[in-house]
Amino acid sequence: MTSVNATFGEVAAERRIASAPLSHVSIELGHLYMEDFEAGPERLREQFRRVAPWAGTVRSSWQDRIPGGRARVSTCFLIDDYFSKFSTPAELVPMVLDAAADCDLTIDYIARESACAESDGIELARLVEDRLVNDPPPDTNGSRPPVKESGWLCNGARSPQVGTVQAMGKANRWAPPLQNAKRGHSIFVDVELWDENGGKRTWSCPFLAAVWQLLRLGLLRTDGRLPLRPVMREDAFPDDWESLPAVMQLNPAAAPFSAYTTLSVLSPRFLPVELAVRTILSQVAVDGDVLKQVVARSGGEGIRLEEELVDRISYVFT
């Protein structure tokens, strides 16, 4: 027993957790989907005009918090190339950058949504799936398949199926769903994480957005290593999406991509998606060593991070 314990202790002591460069806040300046692109550059400029004041306010707020105003603030922009591929990076990315510049905004990093599913052979969505933990409601009987089988995740107890027969021959009566941690009244959320057709899995928008938030918070690891790192921009953008890095750094002077906290400035149409994202993240068990590492680093800078992961994420819907 002594030799086994000693060996285990040596293995545990040798575990290395890569440290991600971290800004104080990562500001997401928007998402781009096919309908936005089809609406033309003016749609983008309208969005960026709404975003600019909020981005400036957050930057100033962090500068006031950090001694000497040396706040590390980075900006990012996400493009959907997962649910629909449209245009090319060579055509679309310059259009986005020009529209942002017209509103005095600088985009430091641009990212592909498909990379939240898989990047360079690493299935990031699977990494997060493996970290899901069930949040069973009180008195659950196990009749509902676990989330990893069903692909559905909720924040409480679903309504029973009316008409099914319980033990002792009694038929189920309708009952309302119940939120686990309700405040007075329930706000019940049931989220589809993926579907499968012909053996091919398609991840849902909320699940990929949850991966996106974890990447921006610098909390994902694979065998202790960072699953992806931003790649510096080359002179020309490629003609196909697969050739564009998962996360491309556009600004050589940018603060780090990942950050202690995130802010997303989005259209109100994303509000239901982000509610689902927060529901998912509340049931993700991030590696404890990674959490300790980030908390220790923030504490060394005199920054107190919220204990709950979702409380490090902020939004403006405008």
- The tens place of each residue's pLDDT in the chain, 318 residues long, gives 444 454 444 444 567 999 999 999 999 999 888 888 888 899 999 999 999 999 999 999 999 999 888 999 999 999 999 998 888 999 999 999 999 999 999 999 999 999 999 999 999 999 999 999 977 666 665 667 888 888 999 887 777 766 555 555 566 777 777 777 777 888 888 999 999 999 899 999 999 999 999 999 999 999 999 999 999 998 899 999 999 999 999 999 999 999 999 999 999 999 999 999 999 999 999 999 999 999 999 999 999 999 999 999 999 998
Q: For residue 68, what pLDDT is reported?
A: 85
Q: For residue 47, what pLDDT is reported?
A: 92
Q: For residue 220, what pLDDT is reported?
A: 97
Q: For residue 3, what pLDDT is reported?
A: 45
Q: For residue 254, what pLDDT is reported?
A: 98
Q: How far apart are CA 161 and CA 159, in angstroms?
A: 6
Q: How far apart are CA 200 and CA 217, in angstroms?
A: 29
Q: How far apart are CA 40 and CA 87, in angstroms?
A: 12
Q: For residue 74, what pLDDT is reported?
A: 98
Q: For residue 4, what pLDDT is reported?
A: 45
